[in-house]
Amino acid sequence: MRPEEVESFRRQVQLVARIGEERGEVIAEEICRLSLRDPGPYAGALPPRSIEMVEGKEAERLTLDKAGYLVVYPDPRRNRLTLEHYTNHGVLDCVIEGATAAALYATAIERCLLTRLDHAAYLGRELARAEQSLRTGEPYVQDRAAGTERPMASLSTACRCGPDDVRP
């Protein structure tokens, strides 16, 4: 904001000290009295700027996250969510567990397990769906990432990383 805009605005503002006044009728009366001194529209207002409207579109192809990929599943027996992180070579390198989607995505972000915004958006959506599954008992199957040909659930089956699998 330019200094002349700030000064123009300041000329239209008047401080009225009423600290400690608790009587509603006195405050209402003061508001009515002051509203009669309306200085009119702010003369230094900036003109409205145009906002571009864009139609959303689905991703055409998957761009792998250089940090790897994530498998999400709810564990209803323990009432917990699990997030497994794999390198792009299919090596499990981190397991995060928690009671809420927010706890898992915050930890994943803190540990730099995501480097792409589209991957973070996808993870948030899947964690919310998994958390909903825990609350309602509805079945949960991890959806496919945009641009992939097969669902992510088939990846978790292929790498044996579901909640019933026993890990060495």
Residues 3-55 have pLDDT tens digits of 877 887 787 787 888 899 999 999 999 888 888 887 777 766 667 778 898 99
Q: How confident is the model at residue 124 (pLDDT cuts 50, 70, 90)?
A: very high
Phi, psi of 83 (to 5 degrees): -125, 120
pLDDT at 147: 60
Is residue 2 over pLDDT 50?
yes
How far is Cα 32 from Cα 27, in angstroms, rounded to an integer?
Answer: 9
How many C-alpha atoms does 87 have within 13 Å on its Cβ side? 4
Task: Confirm whether pTM is higher than 0.75.
Answer: no
Domains of the chain: 3-35 (no CATH), 69-158 (3.10.20)
Residues 144-155: tens digit of each pLDDT:
766 655 444 444
Residue type, position 30, single letter: E
Q: How confident is the model at residue 71 (pLDDT cuts 50, 70, 90)?
A: very high
Which among 144, 141, 99 has a CA at the least distance from the CA of 122? 144
How many C-alpha atoms does 162 have within 13 Å on its Cβ side? 14
